[in-house]
Structure 1
Amino acid sequence: MKLLLTSGGITNESIQAALVDLLGKPIAESRALFIPTAQWGHPMCSPETVWKGTAGRWEGGGALTTLGWKSVGVLELTALPSIRAERWVPWVRDADVLLVDGGEAVYLGHWMRESGLADELAAMPDLVWVGVSAGSMVMTPRIGGQFVDWRPDGGDETLGVVDFSIFPHLDYPGWDENTTEAARRWAATMPGPAYAIDDQTAITVVEGKAEVVSEGHWEHFDAPR
């Protein structure tokens, strides 16, 4: 699986070019599935925000479903345990890209495991994963307690597909908890390396190699000693 881990979606030409490079073909020839699941776990989200994400109606947000795909469908992970894998696994295998919306990363990780999607992804090396905020953070080992809004045991562990953590929406206007100084304090609590990225920045990961694509601001933090 190839990863495009973003804070705000496809927000500029550099990130879109990285997406096309990962796909290996034009967007217009690529089939996409949109995953809104993470939104259900976040207290700031609602049926209205899920619709906005699905329809590409976020005010000032980056594009996902409206990029001009050959086809776009919705894959709701909470529904998958109630249907046979023989039905939904071919949908994922036929897709070129999964567009994974933001929300609550621990909740998303729970349903990726519960649904079986996390296990299936390991056998799909050519599939592209485009994460937005929590949709990116879910691929990391830990997200930090301040980003946890759902979990019975209060833990902040996620899937650990990559070996670094992500602080999204760096210096987002009006978000005092997302300042650069806040990101540096957060990084000091993470057990491994980390990135803080703004909405004009993304991280690609191919065969374990991470590269930053940015028209904005980002910082990298080594693992605390």
Structure 2
Amino acid sequence: MKLLLTSAGVKNASIHDALVDLLGKPIAESNALCIPTAGYGHPMGSPAGAWRFITGQASTPMCELGWKSMGVLELTALPSIGAERWVPWVREADVLLVNGGDALYLCHWMRQSGLADLLPSLRELVWVGLSAGSMVMTPRIGEDFVGWQSPTRSDGTLGIVDFSIFPHLDHPALPENTMADAENWAASLSNPAYAIDDDTAIKVSDGVVEIVSEGSWRLFSA
């Protein structure tokens, strides 16, 4: 699996080019599934927010990029329909577009649905995360980002990458997301971590990590 871990979607030409590179073909020839699940676990989430994401009316470009086909994969529904139905949908997709919201809630439903177990076998699939959709791939999100309480009562997530992510760095609507806040957050972790703004993404392919940015970011060592 290839990863494009963003703070706020495909916000600029550099992130767009990185996405096309990971796909290995034009967006117009690629089949996408979008996953709105994380939004339902966040206090700011709403049915309207999920609709804006799915229909490409949010300020975080993902679903509106001109995909060959687009479907919705709601993780909370998957345990009730059986893997024989939904696994082929995922295997036929070129890319999963994963909405923001609550990373622990998303992680829980990735595990409950079986998607977390399936992903390592999908070597050519591209995962494009938005905020929590990116953070879920990390080993920990840090206590500052814990909202929905997981059954394990921890801040642990999937650990597909070995670094954590602090998104929306210096966002004007989030006064608690300064670089000083990111430094304090990173100091509580035992692994490397990146703080990234909305014009930055982290590209991971074949284990190689590359920063794609037209904005600001910082790496904190373990």
TM-score (norm 2): 0.98
Aligned to 1:27: 27
Q: Is residue 2:204 matched to residue 1:210?
A: no
Q: Separation in 2 of the partners of 1:153 and 1:202?
A: 29
Aligned to 2:7: 7
Task: From 122, 129, 132, give the equivalent of 1:131.
Answer: 129
**Superposition map of 1:69-88 within 5 A:** 69-88=67-86
Q: Separation in 2 of the partners of 1:147 and 1:77?
A: 21
Match for 1:188: what amino acid?
Answer: A
Match for 1:155: what amino acid?
Answer: S
- 1:153 Cα deviation from its structure 2 partner: 4.7
Aligned to 1:186: 185
Aligned to 2:39: 39
**Superposition map of 1:41-60 within 5 A:** 41-58=41-58
Q: Separation in 2 of the partners of 1:177 and 1:206?
A: 31
Identity %: 67
SS at match of 1:33: strand
Please list every run of 5 or more consecutive structure 1 residues that lacks an aligned counterpart in the other structure.
none
Q: Separation in 2 of the partners of 1:6 and 1:34?
A: 15
Q: Separation in 1 of the partners of 2:61 and 2:47?
A: 19
Task: From 141, 144, 161, give the equivalent of 1:146.
Answer: 144
SS at match of 1:178: coil
- 1:142 Cα deviation from its structure 2 partner: 0.3
Large movers: runs of 4+ above 3 Å = none
Task: From 60, 64, 67, give the equivalent of 2:65.
Answer: 67
SS at match of 2:32: strand
- 1:111 Cα deviation from its structure 2 partner: 0.4
Aligned to 2:219: 220
Any conservation in 2 of the 1:148–1:154 contact (CA below 8 Å)?
Answer: no
Match for 1:209: what amino acid?
Answer: V
Match for 1:9: what amino acid?
Answer: G
Match for 1:95: what amino acid?
Answer: A
Q: Separation in 1 of the partners of 2:172 and 2:153?
A: 28
RMSD: 0.8
Which digits, 9 at most, give the CA deviation of each residue in 1:124-173, with x for residues without a partner? 00000000000000000000111111114531100000000000000000
Count of matched residue positions in the alignment of Structure 1 and Structure 2: 221
Any conservation in 2 of the 1:6–1:201 contact (CA below 8 Å)?
Answer: yes
Which digits, 9 at most, give the CA deviation of each residue in 1:173-225, with x for residues without a partner? 031110111001101111100000000000001122111000000000000xx
Q: Separation in 2 of the partners of 1:147 and 1:214?
A: 23
Please list every run of 5 or more consecutive structure 2 residues that lacks an aligned counterpart in the other structure.
none
TM-score (norm 1): 0.97
